[in-house]
Amino acid sequence: MEYHDKVLKCADCGAEFVFTAGEQMFFADKGFKNEPKRCKACKATRAQGGTTSSNGVQRVETKTVCSQCGKETTVPFKPTQGRPVYCRECFQQRRTMTAASGSGGGATGASA
C-alpha cells in the first residue's frame, strides 16, 4: 500500500498537523487501527502530566493509613471499604513474602 502525508486536526488544541507517510507505515506495521488524535506538542504535554489514564479518567490520589504499620501514605486509587491498604514499604515486604512462599494472594498496593 502506498501512503501519502495527511493533514489532521488536533483533538486538544484544534491545530492542524501532518500525519506523515512514514508514520502511517509505522502505524500499519504495529497494527494500529486509529489515526493519531493529538499534535506532537499536545501529546507531549499530556504525557508529562501523568495524572490522566489512557482512557481519559482522572487519576485519584488518596491519603490513607497503612493497614500494617499505621504510617500515613498516599495511594493512586480510592481504597475499597474492608480491604487492606499498605504503604510502599509494607506492600513490597508482603510482595516479597508472597513470592517466596509461592502463593499468588493479591494485596492492594500503595505508593508512599
Which residue, chain included where needed, has cell 488524535?
Answer: 37
Per residue in 63-100, pLDDT tens?
A: 999 999 999 998 888 888 889 999 999 999 988 888 88
Q: Which tops the pLDDT comparison, 47 or 90? A: 90
Question: What is the C-alpha separation between 72 and 51, in angstroms, rounded?
Answer: 21
Q: Which set of grid coordinates corresponds to residue 86?
A: 499498605
Position of cell 499534535? 39
Alpha-carbon distances of 26 from 6, 19, 22, rounded to whole Å: 14, 11, 6
Overall pTM > 0.85: no
Residue with cell 486509529: 34
